[in-house]
Structure 1
Amino acid sequence: MNKKRAIAAVVVVGLAGVAYLGWQGSFGLGDLANPDAIKQMVANFGVFGPLAVIALMVLAVVMTPIPSAPIAMAAGAVFGQFAGAVYIIIGAELGAIIAFLLARALGRDVARRWFGSGLDRGLLGSQNALMFAVFASRLMPFISFDLMSYAAGLSALKFWRFAIATFAGIIPASLFLTHIGGVLATSDGMSLLWGSLALGGVTGLPLLYLAWRSRKRPRGDQHED
């Protein structure tokens, strides 16, 4: 695929999607950080609300500045925790795949100019190590979902491994964020507390594993195969 055409296609599709959502629900870009505004927009779509949520999640991943957490919270408030999580997972997975393939099509030089020097940190290691790195990053909210998707596309990680690691990793966060949305809609503070504790436990597991692995690894073997 021609690099300039790939960039143009993503920009056009992204702008067209945002413009359509804005026309359909009197929705502005500033509202993308407002769960209540997203909730109202999704409700305006009626039976096509799930498709609107999925489309917003795809845009949030591919178009990096758009936040995804408010979309997930709005989905939980409108559709409930589990149905909302399904729509969020579908959208996030599709967006991550598009970002991964787009990075492969563009190449490192073009992607670096587009997204900055953060991509230079990249991903190095064996296929298993790369796959685990992607999976672990999906569990950690402080690691950019979007940037990791593009960085993975520039690595040697196989597509099917990326897709599986992403899918498995986004399930806990999706369930948690849609849970928050549902809780805020019902003002059930105790459920929010238990949900927060559960997510903290899940997201801490990769860090504990990495710490355990680094302690077990012999000092003379500090590199991946």
Structure 2
Amino acid sequence: MKLSPVVARLLLLGAIVIALIGGYLILARSGAIAFLENGPALQAWLQQLGIIGPLAIIGLMTLAIVMSPIPSAPIALAAGAAYGHTEGTVYVLIGAELGAIIAFIIARLAGLAVVQHWLGPGIMQRLHGSQNMLMLIVFVSRLLPFISFDMVSYAAGVTPLRFWRFVVATFAGIIPASFLLAHFGAEMASGESERIGITLLLLGGVSLLVILLERFSRRRR
């Protein structure tokens, strides 16, 4: 019996969810998640890897985005501590962007048809015409540290947002947070408390500025 496209996508979505949950449970029981949350141990491990260390950061960041419960902030901090804020930022950016792209593609392939079926062609057509707004939402969400980076990537995949717009909005939006996290990790490794305080103030200032701009734009609308 031939399955309908919607049922086939639902089965694919269920298989992906089961695989992600199973993978996370395996990592959790093996102690890998606890290791990733141990900043000093992760930093020491990365430094022992030598030239492979940057690839490990990129791979871990990608995995942390795709497999949502895995924390990405400790990886970014360890990247800054191990390689400095400049190189660390580059590695974190690459890994976060790759992870966001993979999550977007998974949601697009497995979930878009299901959402279209539930919402109907009328609503999806109106959303398709709001490319600039969808792109802005993704960009702003990347600037806000309390909004799940992973969930935004998956949610964007089930909207009509064009792929290139998602890539650009994500990359532009994660630059500040990636730099600040890597910079904070580098300052923690240096042990200079004054510079650590300045970094924390910058991180809080960026978040506050984004919130104020968002509220101002809502009032204008």
TM tier, shorter chain?
A: 0.7 to 0.9
Counterpart of 1:72 in structure 2 is: 76
CA apart distance, 1:74: 0.3
CA–CA separation in structure 1 for the residues paired with 2:184 and 2:19: 31
Report 1:74-153 matches (<5 A).
74-107=78-111, 126-153=130-157
Matched to 1:94, the amino acid is L
Matched to 1:73, the amino acid is L
The answer to whether 1:158 aligns with 2:159 is no
Question: Which of 190, 200, 205 is matched with 2:204 structurally?
Answer: 200
Matched to 1:210, the amino acid is E
Higher relative contact order (CA 8 A, sep 6+): 2
Unpaired runs of 5+ in structure 2?
1-7, 116-126
Pair 110,188 (structure 1): closer, same or farther in 2 beyond 3 Å: farther
Corresponding residue SS for 1:142:
coil
Counterpart of 1:22 in structure 2 is: none
RMSD value over aligned CA atoms?
Answer: 2.9
Report 1:14-93 matches (<5 A).
15=23, 28-93=32-97
CA–CA separation in structure 2 for the residues paired with 1:214 and 1:85: 32
Size of the alignment, in residue pairs? 197
Corresponding residue SS for 1:104:
helix
Pair 45,65 (structure 1): closer, same or farther in 2 beyond 3 Å: same
CA–CA separation in structure 2 for the residues paired with 1:178 and 1:128: 30
Counterpart of 1:167 in structure 2 is: 171
Corresponding residue SS for 1:80:
helix
CA apart distance, 1:167: 0.3
TM-score normalised by length of structure 1:
0.78
Encode CA deviations 1:151-174: one digit per residue, 9 max, x unaligned.
Answer: 000111111111011101111111
CA apart distance, 1:11: 4.2
Percent identity over the alignment is 51
Pair 81,162 (structure 1): closer, same or farther in 2 beyond 3 Å: same
CA apart distance, 1:206: 2.6
Could you tell me whether the CA contact under 8 Å between 1:72 and 1:88 is conserved in 2?
Answer: yes
